[in-house]
Structure 1
Amino acid sequence: MWRQTIAWVILTGAVQAAECDGPSLRFIESAPRDRFELSVGAQDLRGVTVDLRGSKGRLIFDTAQGGTGVEVFQPLRDEGGINGAAVTDGAEVLTVALREGRAGGQAAFSIDVDDRLRTSDLGQIRVTGGEMAGAAAIFETAQGVILEAVFDAQNLAQACP
């Protein structure tokens, strides 16, 4: 019995997931602003990049009225702990620097994210986990090491070094 349990743990990666202390980024769909919440993890971080190009929903950042997105738009806004740059309307990649990306810390930012599917789960103005899946979060540590994670269908990207 215990051998079957160990085999199950190894095959499913349950041990790795339980021991992962790497950085993570969670996407939270909300109106009118969508939110990204960063947990720094066990090592200091300089910044994080969100790359939507691999997303199942063909997602974009909707930052300007009358642009690529649908109806509501919102530019990038610091919600605690980031230094952000201007994000072009319709962009698929954004990078934010952390003011204090110390191990164990957190940061957050908001922006509008829309999908470009003809028939999307909740309409193009709202993004589901299935549409975010496949997008990437790229974390840069204070030592310059790059850690990459892919968003899952629960809107979470976690790098397990």
Structure 2
Amino acid sequence: MWKTSIALMCLAGAAQAADCTGASLRFVESAPRDRFELQIGTQPLRAVTVDLRGSAGRLIFDTEDGGTGVEVFQPLRDEGGTQASDVADGAEVIKVALRETAAGGRAAFSIDVDDRMTSSDLGQIRVTGGEMAGATAIFETADGTQIKAVFDDRNRAQVCS
């Protein structure tokens, strides 16, 4: 009986995951620039905010030499479809305006992200999925509605209905 219940819960979870057609943001740890890849989903978007304050790794954006982060630093850079702006070194929240806003579209931007843990999985200069978990992405639709999604331990924040 309990095996059947577990199987049904797994099937229900798989069906729910299949219904995730909303916006998603994926973090890709890379050197020298970390990258955020946006899939716009079914609703047009005008901006995405990344809020690292709830992250397990106490993450920050490292944008200046000698600042809050460790060794390598990188400012915000458009990698397609975004409007890059200045980000203060050590910031925990950034809002990125989008040039490519159509439903189903894609956009990307890069910046350096570091953790502030005394003992982290790969050192403070590299971020693992477990350290990104708990951070949030806030997707702003064309009509100004804000939709929040939390990053999981696979570096992905996705809107599901």
Shift of 1:6: 4.7
Shift of 1:106: 0.2
Structure 1 residues 64 and 16, CA gap change in structure 2 (3 angstroms): same
> Structure 2: any 5+ residue segments left out of the alignment?
none
Query: Which position in structure 2 is the counterpart of 1:147?
Result: 147
Query: Which position in structure 1 is the counterpart of 2:116?
Result: 116
Query: Which position in structure 1 is the counterpart of 2:30?
Result: 30
Structure 1 residues 7 and 112, CA gap change in structure 2 (3 angstroms): closer
Query: Which position in structure 2 is the counterpart of 1:47?
Result: 47
Shift of 1:7: 5.2
Residue 70 in structure 1 maps to residue 70 in structure 2: yes
CA contact (8 A) 1:62 1:74 kept: yes
Instruction: Give the TM-score of the pair, scaled to structure 2.
Output: 0.93
> Structure 1: any 5+ residue segments left out of the alignment?
none
Query: Which position in structure 2 is the counterpart of 1:100?
Result: 100
Q: CA–CA distance in 1 between the matches of 2:15 and 2:95?
A: 31
Query: Which position in structure 2 is the counterpart of 1:9?
Result: 11
1:95 maps to amino acid: K
Shift of 1:9: 2.5
User: Percent identity of the aligned residues?
Assistant: 71
Q: Secondary structure at the match of 1:144?
A: coil
Query: Which position in structure 1 is the counterpart of 2:160?
Result: 160
Instruction: Give the TM-score of the pair, scaled to structure 1.
Output: 0.93
Structure 1 vs Structure 2 CA RMSD: 1.5
Q: Secondary structure at the match of 1:46?
A: strand
